[in-house]
Amino acid sequence: MNLSRLITSGTAGLAALTLTACTGLGATAQSLGSTSTTTTQTSSTASATSAASATAAEDAAAASEDSGTSGTTTGLGALDTHWDEDDLTWDPSEERAVTLADGASSTDSDGVAVDRDVITVSAGGVYRISGDLSDGQVVVTAPDDETVTLVLDGVDITSTTGPALSVVSADEVTVVLADGTDNTLTDGEGYEVADDSTPVAALASASDLTLAGSGSLTVTGRANDAISSSDGLLVTPGTGQLTLEAVDDGLRGKDYVDLLGGTITITAGDDGVKSDNTTDTDRGWVLVDGATLTVAAGDDGIKGEQTLQVSSGEVTVSSSVEGMESAWILITGGSVDVTASDDGINATAVDGVEGGSESDDGSLLQVTGGTITVAAGTDGLDVNGSAELTGGTITITSAANGGDSPVDVNGELTLDGAQVTANGTTITSADQLAVQPGGPGGGMAPAPRG
């Protein structure tokens, strides 16, 4: 894999992501240049309609085509998500009832089969599920071209043999937390999923997964993850409280994790939030754009293998080894508060791509806005490539030993516009942040720019 191409593609793709032409939420729009030295910023209001966002994307794409620039410059159309606001609109008469009860579950739908305490949804549609299973499962096996909406209306499902809620097949599945309800999903311990048909998680999905609704959901992953999708995972604006606990990862979407809302609290033995697709250059990303996210992690707080962006909302990583990690990290707004035993924010090459602790591996950290607070056991900002700090307020507390530093950059460091305080000192030039040659924090000092 060519990392320089990956970063260019990731930069381009994230521009499309934040324009949200697909979701139509009108999130803060960013148009990033194809090089690491130029950042161009535009914005739209949160109330923009789907049509307006789509029109903006189309206009920008047309402008790019007219100017003869490549798609990697504007990146429009390079990324999309599975979700549309229409996914949350249906006629109540379309709903089919599923009532859970140990040994006595029932339904009024031909698309649902009850086999003791395993309830299988085999057709697209909207299903309102209520009741409890002390040792059972809800399984979705809809055709790959059909969508399924599951309204959890006061559900408590525990399984001792697998996921509590398992999506084996469907085009996409939306889990809606009914207003005013508390819902709980708990999986078994030490089980395996036959033929790897889904991830191992309490809420496991082989299809694109959306979480919505103003109710609450508590998920406990006793075997592996709490919530995991083999495709994309999105939390919509207006989503209620998600409380996740897992022995491995808390919230995982292989292709992407798009957090547009919700109050999300995660306690994870490994990574808190993760997207780990390293194959497709327009996947493997995490976006926080409106969510309130609190993470206590045994390893990385938030990890997007290829790209990670915070544009609005609140991110608190209360404990971690490394707080935030990705090949390309962009913070344009919101608040970020990271506590880490190792590096606070770490931009580094995708796993498997050659690089070294003392060489520029092509990774990139860009901060154009927001409020960032980092308390790190070693380096505050550790960048194996280049860093551009051109906006926002950054406060760093890092290790006091001679080798580690507030900002450790192997490539070029730009400080131009960001307000930086490091270990109690106001930073006015990039050379105040450089690691000295030979220190264990990262080898040679960077070439400051700014």
Cα dihedral: 110, 111, 115, 117 (round 10): -120
Minimum mean pLDDT among 13-27, 190-204, 243-257, 326-340: which range?
A: 13-27
- Listing DSSP states for 353-420 in one string gives S---TTS--S-EEEEEEEEEEEEESS-SEEESSEEEEEEEEEEEE---SSS--SEEESSEEEESS-EE
Identify the residue whose tokens are 């930073």.
427
- Is residue 132 within 8 Å of residue 157, measured between CB atoms? yes
Q: Closest Cα partner for 286 from 277, 294, 295? A: 277
Identify residue 64 by its one-letter amino acid code. S
Beta bridge partners of 69: none
- Whether residue 48 is predicted with pLDDT greater than 70 in this model: the reply is no
Q: Name every residue whose Cβ is closer than 8 Å to that of residue 40 and which is 6 or more positions away in sequence.
A: 31, 32, 33
* Confidence at 69, pLDDT banded by 50, 70, 90: very low
- Characterize 38-65 residue by residue with b for buried, 16 or more Cβ atoms within 10 angstroms of its Cβ, and e for exposed: ebeeeebeeebebeebbebbeebbeebe
**Packing angle, helices 50-67 and 3-19, rounded to 10:** 140
Q: Which residues make Cβ contacts (< 8 Å) with residue 66, sequence separation at least 6?
A: none
Half-sphere exposure of 226 (CA within 13 A, CB side): 26
Comparing CA positions, the residue from 327, 321, 293 lying closest to residue 308 is 327
Contact call for residues 100 and 151 (beta carbons, < 8 A): no
Listed residue (341, 343, 313) closest to 325, CA to CA: 343
Q: 94-98, 260-264, 280-284, 400-404: which has the minimum mean pLDDT?
A: 400-404
Least confident of 59-68, 107-116, 424-433: 59-68
Q: Residue 289, SS3?
A: strand
Q: Which two tokens stand for residue 250?
A: 């808390």
Please check the confidence at residue 357 and state whether its pLDDT lies above 60.
no
Residue-wise pLDDT for 253-279, tens only, equals 999 999 999 999 999 999 999 999 999
pLDDT tens for 363-393 read: 999 999 999 999 999 999 999 999 999 999 9
Radius of gyration for the alpha carbons in the chain, expressed in angstroms and rounded: 22
- CB hemisphere CA count around 124 (13 angstroms): 10
- The pLDDT score that the predictor gives to residue 2 is 35
CA distance 310 to 334: 7
- Round to whole Å and give the CA distance between 343 and 169: 39
The span from the CA of 83 to the CA of 100, in Å, is: 28
| Interatomic CA distance for residues 426 and 358, integer angstroms | 27
Q: In whole angstroms, what is the distance from residue 226 CA to residue 163 CA?
A: 9
Q: What is the DSSP letter of 281?
A: T
Tell me the DSSP string of 203-249: EEESSEEEEE-SSEEEEEESSSEEEEESSEEEE-TT--EEEEEESS-
pLDDT of residue 296: 98
Rounded to whole angstroms, the Cα distance separating 174 from 312 reads: 23
Overall average pLDDT of the 351-361 stretch? 62
Mean pLDDT of the chain: 82
pTM for this model (two decimals)? 0.82
Would you state the pLDDT for residue 12?
42
CA 125 vs CA 110, 164, 231, 357: distances in Å:
11, 20, 20, 52
What is the spatial distance between Cα 381 and Cα 366, in angstroms, rounded to a whole number? 11
CA dihedral 192, 197, 201, 205 (to 10 degrees): -170
